[in-house]
Structure 1
Amino acid sequence: MVAVHFLDRALPVEEIGRLTLSGDLLVWRQLPALARLCETADAMLRDGLQDNDPLTIEARVPADLFLKRVRALRGRFKQDPAIAGAFKDALVATGLTAADSYWDPLQLRVVPSQNSHQGRRIMPLPAHRDNWGSNIGQQINWWTPLYPTSAQRTILFYPTLWAEPVPNTSADWDFEILKTLMETGKADSYPVLPVVTDEPPAAAAMPIVLQPGDMLAFSGQHLHGSIATEEGIARFSTESRTVTLRHVTAGLAAPNVDGHAPRVVPDWFQHMVDDTPLAAALCQAGLG
């Protein structure tokens, strides 16, 4: 049975792997590094959106201009060293070991409440497992809000489906195709990620309500998605994913019950200290 652990201290990295990769959700409350991150991100959002209240901006800015500004901010956010540094400090504060962990670039996630202001990657995501895309059983997702959330504006989990197969599009999704299309500027013609073919029952959904400064860790195997039904209020968050070699060599892995993507994708992950690729480390360890 999936459990939610609320934490105020670091855990040994082996414990983080054991708990998350068996389905538990971990929430660290009020990490100081995330307070720094939120302060930096808030200033960036106000500047980039040209508005003093990002949460309610949909009421004041036309959809096309809103999407243009958000897309520019997503690129700016991903490249900001202060934001990346604060997120890395927060990961280390949970007990994750940077020396043998690999992560992917931070993503600014903006989920508008109105259909008119939504676009590719700027919308509620359907239910999905991240592992359908990566095929890496040791992947751990890390998620934190930039502003307060509510049960109508947060991340959703389907814990009863942790080990239950659900119909999905993973067999027809290939990262190499998406990568090629991205390089040629034609990615809009291909799905961002594999998703369920039938939306799970609403009664199975469990929202996790967090505050700025909180960090959520969960396995990429968890079926999860987005909700943004609080009228006129957008959701802003950031996220990354990690793979820790100590979990790989220890044989820790979430179960694959329904993922059928044609390849493993270590390409997303770089070493948290020296940026070397995960693929090279797996090959060196005889695991690639």
Structure 2
Amino acid sequence: MTALYELATPLPEAERNARLYRGELIIFRGFDSVAQLTDQLRAHCTSHLGNDPTCAHQSMSSTEIEQAAEALRAAVRKDSDAALTWRQVLSAINTDLDETYGDGIVTRVQPPSSGVQGGRIEPLRAHRDTWGSNLPAQINWWAPIYDTTPERTLALFPGLFTRIVENDSAEWNFQDMVQAHRTKSTRSYPLLPTATNRPSWDDALVVSLLPGDLLCFSGAHLHASVPNTTSLTRLSFEARTVNRSDMAAGLGAPNVDGSAPFITSQIFRHLKNGQKLGEIARR
């Protein structure tokens, strides 16, 4: 069974990454910089979704929520103060920023499932991020902006970390996805490869965190959104990072079932100077 650790102190990055590549899950708890970032993101949420963003679905249509969620994502991505705080978060838990590349902070808005439809506000189906990126050294970070419950959070399937899961990564093309996104056709092209047979929820580890907590796990971990059956909208943020030295040394989680044709290292940029980790390349 995969170990889940809760830490209130920094962990040497080499040790942390090695543990994540083995499939361990780590929650960092009690770091002031995470709380500061959460406050900054809450300000963005209220600006776009009203004074109580967890109830936005009560006064907004699904189309309005989707538009507001897109505007929220764009505003957070442009927020240099939030980006600075994110770097401070990583430094506080002992990350070498000189070796770290990332894709920036991404906010997620998931209203209750009753009748709300939309490409980016629907629950994410089970997937490994590495099915799309082909980067074994990729690490995922996830945290709630407001309270979560087991019915409104993230789930991982740790028992499937090294087991083959049937998926559509061989047919998924990153360049086609980007083109579809540019032409606003994402409904007709999936944002990422997913499992073709949904795993049993009996195998899921539901991670219900408090604002200020920060979960990190390998991009190779199978994970999914828990379908929101509550009366509140879920708001969370996530990010992905890659350690350049680990990537160069061939370190990372095992690839047991990913078959996407491209390595998408160009989506990761150096956290300090913005340089790309690499260019898109065929496997």
TM-score, structure 2 as length reference: 0.94
SS at structure 2 position matched to 1:84: helix
Q: Is the 8 A contact 1:30 1:214 kept in 2?
A: yes
2:40 — aligned with what?
Answer: 40
Q: CA RMSD in A?
A: 1.8
Deviation string 1:22-72 (CA, Å, 9 cap, x unpaired) is 1000110022112111212212211212x2211122122222222222221
- Percent of aligned positions that are identical: 36
Q: Which residue of 1 aligns with 2:125?
A: 126
Partner residue of 2:270? 271
Matching residue's letter, 2:122: M
Q: Secondary structure at the match of 1:117?
A: coil
Q: Is the 8 A contact 1:27 1:217 kept in 2?
A: yes
1:126 alignment partner AA: R
Q: Write the deviation string for residues 216-258 of structure 1: whole angstroms up to 9, x where unpaired.
A: 1100000000014342111111111111023224442101111
Cα deviation for residue 185 of structure 1 reads 4.0
Task: Report how far residue 113 of structure 1 moved.
Answer: 1.1
Partner of 2:160: 161
Residue 143 (str. 1) matches residue 142 (str. 2): yes
Question: What is the alpha-carbon distance in structure 2 between the residues aligned to residue 178 and residue 67 of structure 1?
Answer: 19
| In structure 1, distance between residues paired with 2:181 and 2:149 | 34
The residue aligned with 1:101 is 100
Distance 2:45 2:278 in 1: 34
Q: Which residue of 2 aligns with 1:72?
A: 71
Report what 1:248 is aligned to: 247
What residue identity is the alignment partner of 1:255? P
Listed one character per residue, the Cα deviations across residues 73-121 of structure 1 (whole Å, up to 9, x for unaligned) are: 1211211112222122111111111101100021111111134233111
Q: Structure 2: which 5+ residue stretches go unaligned? A: none
Report the 3-state secondary structure (helix = DSSP H, G, I; strand = E; otherwise coil) of the residue aligned with 1:27: strand
Count of residues paired in the alignment: 282
- Structure 1, unmatched stretches of 5+, are none
What does residue 206 of structure 1 align with? 205
- The residue number in structure 1 matching 2:170 is 171
Give the 3-state SS of the residue equivalent to 1:279 in structure 2: coil
Which amino acid counterpart does residue 127 of structure 1 have in structure 2? A
Tell me how far 1:200 sits from its aligned partner. Answer: 0.5
Structure 1 pair 183–247 and aligned structure 2 pair: CA distance change class (3 A): same
Spell out the pairing of 1:56-71 with structure 2 (5 A cutoff).
56-71=55-70
Report SS of the residue matched to 1:140.
Answer: strand
Q: Which moved more, 1:70-79 or 1:192-201?
A: 70-79
Contact 1:112 1:228 in 2 (8 A): no
- Deviation larger for 113-122 or 81-90: 113-122
Residues 167 and 258, structure 1, Cα contact 8 Å, conserved in 2? yes
Instruction: Measure, in 2, the Cα distance between the counterparts of 1:116 and 1:86.
Output: 36
